[in-house]
Amino acid sequence: MNFSPTKEQQMIRKMVREFAENEIKPIVEEMDEEAKYPYETVEKAAKLGLLGMPFPKEYGGCGTDYVAYAIAIEELSRVCGSHGVIVQTHCALCCWPILTYGTEEQKRKYLPDLLSGKKLGAFGLTEPNAGTDAAGQQTKAVDMGDHWLLNGTKIFISGGGIADVYIIMAMTDKSKGTKGISAFIVEKGMNGFKRGKKENKMGIRGSIAAELVFEDCKIPKENLLGDIGKGFKVAMTSLDVGRLGIGCQALGIAQGAFDDTVVYMKSRKQFGRTLDKFQALAFEMAEMKTRIDAARFLLYNAADRRDRGLPSSVEVAQAKLYASEAAMYVTTKAVQFHGGYGYIKDYPVERRMRDAKITEIYEGTSEVMKMVISGEIFK
């Protein structure tokens, strides 16, 4: 059990931190205010290899371990939660399922562009009536002989309208329940596929969440991803990878809020002394630091298990559950310790609190995480 980062992991942290501080920090306020997708910084991140880290070099990835990937998502999120989720969603929910379930042709067709960032990836599972109850898919894919015909709607899709390649889950045989769901690779611009409503969100406003509408959308036969009826498995296993990323996003958001609060408390004076001299506040900061570091080790453990080929669904559920709750706790306290200034947009801490909330919800709510963990305890 080695708890020290490797040389590579240390350098990755340094590089991503510098990149985030110098390139992302200056644009974050405007991005958040206007809910603008940060095309330029995502492209810069792609050029450094950040959109293809834990993927084989053979397909254009960087071949890093998942712990290094976790560190990268954390450091991006420390400055901006939107950038963290943009990178992790692209990697975990689009690149990973194609790598894992794709035919050689599909891998060679899609991965080089995705891993280099030339194309962006997204994932469509959620529907108006199928959120946590993901098995209730109503989007239908009908076998028309020489193509599939897709009809239905997806909502809250991260990267909706922005991404070029989408992994879309659809019902191919309603009688088979979850085993009647299949996964498809759908490309932007395919006939009958369009972006619907763009959501106006509380936080992570640089990450666009939108409705996807399929109206008699013709999909080539060869775009079925994995075997027919295996779509639910594709979705669930991909979400396992996504949960690591979201946990790291939460960790980064918490760390960023914490770091800002330390600086604030060392300079803000009330009653003749700086806030760090008030024990009640300092003790709470000790509590916050402990929870952040606990989240960190839960996440790295899950990532390390993945690197070693060990099952990690339960561990990653624990990590995401803990990290997202820690992020809400830390960011709420961070706003509190900034006092009135914490409530004002001039300070970045309120944005972090708004960004943190979603980590308890998407890619599996905290309740779902508890289902996974308790399911393991009482199996």
Partner 1 sequence: MNIIVCVKQVPDTNEVRIDPVKNTLIRDGVPSILNPDDANALEEALKIKDENPDTYVTVLTMGPPQAKEMLAECLAMGADEGILLSDRALGGSDTWATSNALAKGIKKIGNYDLIFAGRQAIDGDTAQVGPQLAEKLDIPQVTYVKECRISGKDIIVKRALENGYENIKIQMPCLLTAIKELNNPRYMSVLGIYRACRQEVSVWSAKDIAISEEEAGLEASPTNVFKSFTPAPKGKGITIEGDTPKEIISSLIGKLKEKHII
Catalytic residues: 363
Cβ closest to partner 1, residue 63 vs residue 177: 63
How far apart, in whole angstroms, are the C-alpha atoms of residue 105 and residue 22? 39
| 3-class state of residue 213 by DSSP | strand
When the beta carbons of 215 and 259 are compared against partner 1, the nearer one is 259
Angle between helices 231-267 and 313-337 (to 10 degrees): 30
Residue (42 or 298) nearer to partner 1, CB = 42
**The one among 4, 7, 145, 263 contacting partner 1 by CB under 8 A:** 7
Binding mask 23-62 for partner 1 (x = CB under 8 A): ------------------------xxxx--x--------x
Interactions with partner 1, residue window 323-342 (CB under 8 A): none
**What are φ and ψ of residue 364, in 5° steps?**
105, 110
Residue 12 in the binding site for partner 1 (CB under 8 A): yes
Smallest gap from residue 19 Cβ to partner 1 (A): 5
Coil/strand/helix, residue 146: coil
Q: With contacts defined by CB under 8 A, how many residues of the chain interact with partner 1?
A: 18
Considering only the stretches 3-11, 90-98, 202-210, 224-232, report the one whose residues sit in contact with partner 1 under the rule CB under 8 A. Answer: 3-11
- Residue 344: other Cβ atoms inside 10 A: 11
Positions 181 through 240 that interact with partner 1 (CB under 8 A)? none
The C-alpha atoms of residue 207 and residue 160 are separated, in whole angstroms, by 9
Place of tokens 């998942």: 66
Q: Strand 224-225 relative to strand 193-198: parallel, antiparallel, unpaired?
A: unpaired
Nearer Cβ to partner 1, position 6 or 191? 6
Nearer to partner 1, 64 or 77 (CB): 64
Separation CA 57–CA 63 (nearest Å): 5
Q: State in angstroms the smallest separation of the CB of 138 from partner 1.
A: 40
- Tell me which stretch binds partner 1 (CB under 8 A): 14-22, 85-93, 251-259, 370-378: 14-22
Measured between alpha carbons, how far is 13 from 209 in angstroms, rounded to an integer? 28
Q: Which of residues 71-110 bind partner 1 (CB under 8 A)?
A: 72
**Residue placing its CB nearer to partner 1 in the complex, 12 or 254:** 12
What's the closest the beta carbon of residue 47 comes to partner 1, in angstroms?
8
SS3 231: helix
Under 8 Å between Cβ of 204 and 246 = no
CA 353 from chain center: how many Å?
17
Min separation Cβ 90 and partner 1, Å: 15
Please report which residue ranges of the chain form alpha helices under DSSP H. Answer: 7-19, 25-34, 39-47, 66-79, 81-90, 96-101, 104-116, 231-267, 279-307, 313-337, 349-357, 366-377
- String of contacts with partner 1 for each residue 57-76, x by CB under 8 A: -----xxx-------x----
Nearer to partner 1, 7 or 379 (CB): 7
CB of 6 to partner 1, least distance (A): 8
Provide, rounded to whole angstroms, the least separation between the CB of residue 87 and partner 1: 12
Distance, in Å, from the CA atom of 354 to the CA atom of 204, rounded to the nearest integer, reads: 8
Residues that bind partner 1 (CB under 8 A): 6-8, 11-12, 14-15, 18-19, 47-50, 53, 62-64, 72
